[in-house]
């Protein structure tokens, strides 16, 4: 292999819900855009300056040893092909162009050096016809010089009772498998009771994928246990010792070209790096979740957009300030990448170990920060995207919040200064907001998370199975953790629930907080009963009610929060006590986790958890 395909030029998405404008935009005239080809009518211009159409030149110049890139296409007809480029400000220029006349399945190649993109910018292919001309362009691919040995990729999918979603992604990979030359294997770790293999289409997809598919049934060890199984299996085969492992969620809408883009980038990286794919919002398919993110570890804040990052951006819209199209022109450095799509080279596993048995939540961030400490940064690659359910449509008040809190504290203990005074203030502030908002189950969840952190690393010995069961049992004791239909709220007539909207955020937060606390301790409430939309369920508003019906963030139902003075005082005392313990014992517990890290992340520990 002399040329390595870095990405394909596609003109339509993997599903009808995806706008073709994310792949190529028709600026003038008329064009027919298919998945692998585009046909231009006379007097038409089609631009590849789009999310999936762009080649992320800045990232290739910064992180790889590639010095030039080519785009090649098979052309029939007459027209102009030009390679466009942008800089850090998004200003366009043309770096190569070729006019073709009466071509018949002619291969055209345009080339550009990767030498003017360090801080930002991309490359793309534009097509144009004049009056009386027609043009068909197909088999478009961006290529770079291949390395001496191409490292293949093993995809690993963790699934838990999402059999239909997982099967769809296997079918998508199977349908494109002839183009995925660097796809070595697919590992499916099925941890559910509703198995993927039970579906009618599984037998056919298994036949289509042949010996590439490895279907594994195992106990539910959460996302960490499911994804780690792929690393574990690849590391057990000498033939794939120098492979990449690509984590992929089971419930994403997959763009199969992601495999090509991330694998090629990793193959030509100057040094081993973790390559992350970006997340687009499934319920709003034109939206980019975030360009790149990091975590504020000591204050337990994941998902922070890095400076200059696009955030919940309409990729077909414009920036409100600059009025320029929403393009991620400036190159960004990521702190970590979510495991909806994340490629990990084998060298990282050799040097860093396996993920912690966190069950799920923060396993991706912890692993990236641990890898960074060993010299392996994370790069979030634009244009390598999958669609995942929008995060803002998932409610915070769920049992998984336990793992989010517990694992964030463990990660802070391992990879931050672990300022216990700061951390205590953060946790107390969260607890006060939860109690004021009458989220007693969520308060108990926080308390349990801190208590279990203080238990030390032995809490991770079973991979989180017992903790999952226990936190669900605890939360089941609190009525407001349960979701109801708005027309069937227990003890409340549907017609009695009217919306009471929130005031703006208080200008004097501390004063308002103290006033709300005093009112609640005296059992004083401005409203007896009311409904509050999910986006207005702030503590300063919900604390005004005796009973409040809050829309669930999923928009699928409501939660009923009712003031309970006894619960509030009991949880406040328990919370204050456990946070005080954290201040006193936290440093010693931190050392326990650090000492236990090599054993917890060892192959031997995961062999035990997998019962192999």
Output Rg (C-alpha) for the chain, integer angstroms.
Answer: 26
The one catalytic residue in 126, 184, 364, 552 is 364
- Take residue 66 and report the two structure tokens written for it: 């590639």
Question: ∠ at Cα 387 (383, 388), nearest 5°?
Answer: 135
At residue 469, the 3 state secondary structure works out as: helix
Please answer whether residues 37 and 181 qualify as being in contact, where contact means their C-beta atoms are separated by less than 8 angstroms. no
The alpha carbon dihedral of 173, 174, 179, 181 has a sign of: positive
In this structure, are strands 45-47 and 25-28 parallel, antiparallel, or unpaired? antiparallel
Contacts of 116 (CB under 8 A, 6+ apart): 85, 87
At residue 343, the 3 state secondary structure works out as: strand
Q: What is the spatial distance between Cα 126 and Cα 116, in angstroms, rounded to a whole number?
A: 19
Residues forming a β-bridge with 381: 277
In this structure, are strands 213-217 and 183-190 parallel, antiparallel, or unpaired? parallel
How many other CB atoms sit within 10 Å of the CB of residue 504? Answer: 7
Q: What is the spatial distance between Cα 135 and Cα 129, in angstroms, rounded to a whole number?
A: 7
Residue 24, by phi and psi: left (phi above 0), alpha (psi -120 to 50) or beta? beta
Q: What is the spatial distance between Cα 244 and Cα 36, in angstroms, rounded to a whole number?
A: 27
In this structure, are strands 527-532 and 545-551 parallel, antiparallel, or unpaired? parallel
Residues forming a β-bridge with 386: 279
To the query of whether residue 476 is one of the catalytic residues in this protein, the response is: no
Q: Is 199 exposed, middle or buried (0-12, 13-18, 19+ CB in 10 A)?
A: middle
- Take residue 393 and report the two structure tokens written for it: 């449509």
Catalogue the long-range contacts made by 370-373 (C-beta closer than 8 Å, 24 or more residues apart): 370/414, 370/415, 371/274, 372/335, 373/415
Q: What is the spatial distance between Cα 196 and Cα 473, in angstroms, rounded to a whole number?
A: 28
- Residue 410: which H helix or E strand, with range? helix 400-415
- The catalytic residues are 364
């Amino acid at each position: 292999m002399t040329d390595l395909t870095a990405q394909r030029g596609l003109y339509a998405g993997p599903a009808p819900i995806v706008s073709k404008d994310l792949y190529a935009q028709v600026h003038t005239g008329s064009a027919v855009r298919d998945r692998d080809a585009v046909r231009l009518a006379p007097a038409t211009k089609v631009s590849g300056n789009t999310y999936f159409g762009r080649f992320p030149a800045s990232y290739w110049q910064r992180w790889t040893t590639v010095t030039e890139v080519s785009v090649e296409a098979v052309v029939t007809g007459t027209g102009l092909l030009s390679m466009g480029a942008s800089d850090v400000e998004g200003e366009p220029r043309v770096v190569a162009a070729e006019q073709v006349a009466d071509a018949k399945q002619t291969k055209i190649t345009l080339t550009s050096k990767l030498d003017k993109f360090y801080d930002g910018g991309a490359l793309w292919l534009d097509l144009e016809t004049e009056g009386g001309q027609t043009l068909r362009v197909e088999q478009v691919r961006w290529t770079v010089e291949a390395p001496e040995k191409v490292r293949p990729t093993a995809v690993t999918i963790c699934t838990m009772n999402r059999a239909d979603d997982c099967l769809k992604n296997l079918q998508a990979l199977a349908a494109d498998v002839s183009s995925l030359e660097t796809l070595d294997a697919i590992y499916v770790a099925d941890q559910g009771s509703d198995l993927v293999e039970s579906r009618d289409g599984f037998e056919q997809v298994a036949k289509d994928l042949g010996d590439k598919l490895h279907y594994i049934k195992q106990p539910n060890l959460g996302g960490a246990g499911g994804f780690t199984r792929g690393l574990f299996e690849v590391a057990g085969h000498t033939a794939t010792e120098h492979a990449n492992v690509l984590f992929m969620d089971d419930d994403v809408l997959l763009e199969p070209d992601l495999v090509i883009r991330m694998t090629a980038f990793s193959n030509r990286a100057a040094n081993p790096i973790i390559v992350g794919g970006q997340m687009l919002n499934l319920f709003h398919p034109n939206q980019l979740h975030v360009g790149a993110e990091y975590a504020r570890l000591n204050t337990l804040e994941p998902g922070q957009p890095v400076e200059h990052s696009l955030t919940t951006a309409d990729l077909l819209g414009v920036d409100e300030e600059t009025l320029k199209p929403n393009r991620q022109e400036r190159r960004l450095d990521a702190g970590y990448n979510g495991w909806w799509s994340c490629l990990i080279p084998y060298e990282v596993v050799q040097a860093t170990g396996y993920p912690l048995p966190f069950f799920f939540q923060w396993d991706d961030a912890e692993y990236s920060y641990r890898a960074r400490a060993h010299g392996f940064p994370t790069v979030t690659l634009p244009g390598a995207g999958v669609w995942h359910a929008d995060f803002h449509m998932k409610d915070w008040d769920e049992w998984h919040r336990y793992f989010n809190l517990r694992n964030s504290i463990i990660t802070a203990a391992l990879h931050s200064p672990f300022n216990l005074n700061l951390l205590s203030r953060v946790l107390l502030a969260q607890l006060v907001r939860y109690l004021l908002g009458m989220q007693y189950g969520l308060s108990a969840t926080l308390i349990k998370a801190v208590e279990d952190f203080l238990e030390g690393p032995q809490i991770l010995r079973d991979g989180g199975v017992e903790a999952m069961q226990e936190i669900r049992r605890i939360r089941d004791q609190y009525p407001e953790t349960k979701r109801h239909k708005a027309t069937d709220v227990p003890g409340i007539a549907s017609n009695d629930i009217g919306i009471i909207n929130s005031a703006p955020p208080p200008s004097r937060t501390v004063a308002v907080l103290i006033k709300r606390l005093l009112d609640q301790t005296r059992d004083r409430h401005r409203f007896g009963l009311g409904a509050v939309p999910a986006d207005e369920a702030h503590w300063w508003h919900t604390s005004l009610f005796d009973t409040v019906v809050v829309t669930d963030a999923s928009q699928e139902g409501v939660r009923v929060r009712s003031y309970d003075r006894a619960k509030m005082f009991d949880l406040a005392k328990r919370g204050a006590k456990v946070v005080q313990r954290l201040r006193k014992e936290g440093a010693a517990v931190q050392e326990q986790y650090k000492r236990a890290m090599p054993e917890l992340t060892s192959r031997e520990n995961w062999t035990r958890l997998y019962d192999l």
